[in-house]
Amino acid sequence: MPARPAPFLLLALLCASCRGTPPPAAEQGAQVSEIADRVAQYTVVRLAPDLSALGESERRMVPLLVEAAQAMDRAFWKQAYGDPQPLMHSLQDPAMRRYAEINYGPWDRLEEDAPFVPGTPPKPKGARLYPEDMSREELEKAAEAQPELTSLYTVVRRDENGALVAVPYSQAYAEEYRLAAERLREAAALAPTPDLRRYLEARADALLSDDYYESDLAWMEMKDNTLDVVIGPIETYEDQLFGYKAASAAHVLVKDLDWSARLERYAAFLPDLQRGLPVPDAYKRESPGSDADLGAYDTLYAAGDANAAVKALAFNLPNDEKVQLEKGTRRVQLKSTMRAKFEKILVPIAGVLIAEGQRGHVTFDAFFANGMFHEVAHGLGIKNTLDGRSTVREALKEHYSALEEGKADVLGLYMEQALHERGELGDVDLRDNYVTFLASIFRSIRFGASSAHGVANLIRFNFFQEQGAFTRSTDGLYSVDAEAFPKAVTNLAERLLVLQGDGDYAAVAAFVERYGAATATLEADLARLTAASIPVDIVYEQGLDVLGL
């Protein structure tokens, strides 16, 4: 059963984000050395966190959870590309194979999915989640009679007559999902608390029934577990055609109890901050759940969509709007990942692009706070359009993710400002948060315009520049204007919240078109980061041997 049948607002509009022209296929030799450079964009981070907080039974659960995660990895390959074996066999060069592993296919996720394996056709916008020969209009029309075609948890195929049919993930990825469900059940039997056992069993059921609602609730109700796993079809970024389909992923996590305690108190401010948003009342009429929580976690293992190319610093789940309104969300900050990216990427970026006098404002505490408030800020704003006809996600389609990420970024800063004014943040200098945020924009834009976060950051860069939030010196060094910056934050927050509430797809497409592209100056500045050999992102060295289990 599709878990999210809903009436859809069907708009016959063209995709405004036509990008991704593949480069001409280079000669194999030239290609190979270039591929080694591309692999070097990722700096290796070992996932070997402190496991001393885990009890004996939890340590025995880890290998089972890792096996379940590896099943998600195989399912994600099928969603993103197909069977990896023939591809891997055809690649002679180790760097080429490595790059295909990192990207889960022959398309470069840092280069708007341009093929890097000679002879590969462009990546379909809908990856392998829809038939390649299907048009947007065909799906929209068919979905009028078959709403399950737009479910998060079905893949669209053609039947023998060529008609579109929805195949539930539990069938499309039966082998992988069944194996993951089995391992989750075995892990559940070892779980030290009833909450964790109930969640793992519910999640196992969900993988087989395609109904994730109960397991999402169980995850939200689980409070004092140290070991955690986020597994199944989760985020919709892989579906660039519509943003409907969730990609298979897994994070095996251990909670950092000290840092989590520092974070928890902020969720309590959400309802009050929602009321203070800089928009007319209609755009803030929903109330965010107040028993949402925040936690800092270290990653033991990441798989599938959670391990593809650029690594998330944090996430905010579940995505099911119904669970969000009932229970709020859980914001998971991936602390070890954040620390690695801060030290290996952000500090070096600031050394190249931020004015010398402001570099001291780039701090880990500010980076962590910005990331944390980004996650909290996903809970602000509204989930349903003002006309009440659909969710914001349904109305904005493939632009939804970029807008939602952009909203969370600026509302995160808005929260910092609001809490700082009330004296809730203690002794912080908001200039740290602003300058760290600016340096982080450069970091994120390097992910490319094929990622929702990349587009969100381009929009913000161009919008902030227009508003004078920062300046660029003639020698290419950027400085935050501490007066103009918070005003630009408020103005962009207002724009994004109104665009979401109106659910006007055409207006959003025009907005993304206007602000979502890099200028020549920006491209040249980003090239200076590459010339300085600053890694773009990280790749995990992970597994039971790395964990010492």
Q: Which residues bind Zn ion (CB under 5 A)?
A: 405, 408
Q: Residue 461: what residue type? A: F
Neighbours of 199 (CB within 10 A): 26
8 A C-beta contact, residue 340 and residue 233: no
Number of H helices, E strands in the chain: 23, 13
- Distant-in-sequence, close-in-space partners of 172: CB < 8 Å, separation ≥ 6: 78, 154, 155, 157
Supply angle C-alpha 296, 298, 304, rounded to 5. 115
Find out whether 132 and 123 touch, Cβ atoms under 8 Å: no
The residue (of 107 and 400) whose beta carbon lies closer to Zn ion is 400
Please identify, using beta-carbon distances, which residue of 400 and 485 lies nearer to Zn ion. 400
Q: At 83, phi and psi to the nearest 5?
A: -60, 120
Crossing angle (nearest 10°) for helices 520-531 and 430-445: 90
> How far apart are CB 307 and Zn ion at their closest, in Å?
18
Task: Tell me which residue has tokens 């009679």.
Answer: 145
Distance between CA 154 and CA 167 in Å, rounded? 5
Residue 314 CB, shortest distance to Zn ion, in Å, is: 7
Cβ 488 vs Cβ 463: under 8 Å: yes
Q: Which helix (H) or strand (E) holds 316?
A: strand 314-317
Segment 191-196 long-range contacts (CB within 8 Å, at least 24 positions apart): 191/57, 191/61, 192/55, 192/57, 192/58, 193/222, 193/224, 193/225, 195/221, 195/222, 195/223, 195/224, 195/225, 196/222, 196/225, 196/227
CB of 369 to Zn ion, least distance (A): 15
User: Nearest approach, Cβ of 305 to Zn ion (angstroms)?
Assistant: 14
Closest CA to 319 of 337, 302, 332, 338: 332
Query: Which lies closer to Zn ion via its Cβ, residue 113 or residue 405?
Result: 405
Of all residues in the shown chain, the one whose CB is closest to Zn ion is 408
CA–CA separation, 438 vs 56, rounded Å?
A: 44
CB nearer Zn ion, residue 405 or residue 504: 405
Q: Shortest distance, CB of residue 409 to Zn ion, whole angstroms?
A: 8
Question: Which residue type does 304 have?
Answer: G
Give the integer Cα–Cα distance in Å for 469 and 463. 9
Shortest Å distance, C-beta 17 to Zn ion: 19
Count Cα neighbours of 142 within 13 Å in the Cβ-side half-sphere: 19
